[in-house]
Amino acid sequence: MNNDQIIKLFLNAEVSFSDIEKQTLEINYNFKLVQFSKSRFDTRLSQTKKNWVLSKELGWGGSLSDDFPNRWDITSDASTVCYRNNFVEYTFFDLVKISLDEKFKIEKEIVIKEAEKVITSNIVDTLTKVLVQEMMPFSKVSSGYLETNYGIHLKQTQRGMHMNMRYKPRYGNINWVANQVLCWGSNTGWDITTDGKIACCRINYDDYVNFEIEVLTADQIEEYKKLHPEELSDSFKKMQVLKSMLDAGLITLHEYSIKREAILKTI
């Protein structure tokens, strides 16, 4: 993309401020904006000696957006960019073109982040059901139940009185799924953070436990299944028997596929 094309992107408002954080500019246009200054006043003329394309009042949104439609300005050599955030805030950026290698690296990082979001969502959904709603007994934490059936391990990091706990619902700036007072006694009280990283359990009146939530690899899950075969769900046990029958030649691959599909629908 040449300089004239880049300039048109900003003057035609084809770029939004949110594109900077999303890294859309790097992926779609092969350049990035690096902030170097912020001002309460329009200091374009003092920020650089280069000529600005617009060099007129920039817009700030709101009711006067039609009168002042341009919130971006850019120098004629496409090296410096200005954005008016609001009535009294201007942000200045260096426009830096990136290589294909850097672009591919950013694309890879974005894919990894999206995959991590999916994993986090699955963890939160699973543990909300198993811990928060169904109130899994504390005794099952070390039984291999979560590891063999869900591929999740709870690593204990702290146990103590409520006043000494680092993580606890309704305190601090951490977001919790339920964020309520935890029950105790016959029902084990649980809560997890919305980022799927921390779990808190209340065993007795003033006996709390914090855990780090870990996602296991396929090999780790298999190890837990060998150590705790009794904790496998009926569906997993059926799958194991079915696979053994296929390996022994007792059923055909077609029969295996049909029965496997039927079992998966029950999970």
133 within a domain of the structure (yes/no): yes
CB under 8 Å to 85, separation ≥6 — which residues?
A: 17, 60, 91
Domain end position, chosen among 41, 72, 98:
98
One pLDDT digit (tens) per residue for the chain, 267 residues:
899 999 999 999 999 999 999 999 999 999 999 999 999 999 999 999 999 999 899 999 877 778 899 999 999 999 999 999 999 999 999 999 999 999 999 999 999 889 889 999 999 999 999 999 999 999 999 999 999 989 999 999 999 999 999 999 999 899 999 999 999 988 899 999 999 999 999 999 999 999 999 999 989 999 988 888 766 656 666 676 777 777 877 788 888 888 777 776 665
**221: in domain:** no
Q: What is the pTM of this model?
A: 0.63
Which of the listed residues 98, 124, 147 is the one where a domain comes to its end? 98
* 159 & 197 share domain: yes
Which residue type occupies 33? L
**Nearest Cα residue to 178 out of 220, 134, 148, 217:** 134
| Residue after which a domain boundary falls, among 65, 98, 131 | 98
Indicate if 109 and 208 belong to the same structural domain.
yes
User: What is the number of alpha carbons within 13 Å of residue 175 lying toward its C-beta?
Assistant: 4
Give yes or no: residues 89 and 139 share one domain: no
The number of distinct structural domains making up the chain is 3
Give buried/exposed letters for 68-106 (b at 16+ CB in 10 A, else e).
Answer: eebbbbbbeebbbbbbbeeeeebbbbebeeeeeeebeee
Domain that residue 62 falls in: 3-98
Q: Which two tokens stand for residue 14?
A: 């084809």
User: Per DSSP, what are the bridge partners of residue 38?
Assistant: 91
Residue 201: inside a domain: yes
Task: Read off the tokens for 71.
Answer: 């919130």
10 and 37 part of one domain: yes
Same domain assignment for residues 32 and 117 = no
Domain check: are 70 and 16 in the same one?
yes
**Distance, CA of 79 to CA of 7 (rounded, Å):** 10
User: What's the rounded Cα separation, in Å, for the pair 213 and 192?
Assistant: 9
Question: Do 9 and 62 share a domain, yes or no?
Answer: yes
| Distance from C-alpha of 217 to C-alpha of 214, rounded to nearest angstrom | 10
Separation between Cα atoms, residue 111 and residue 131, nearest integer Å: 30
Residue 77, in any domain of the structure: yes
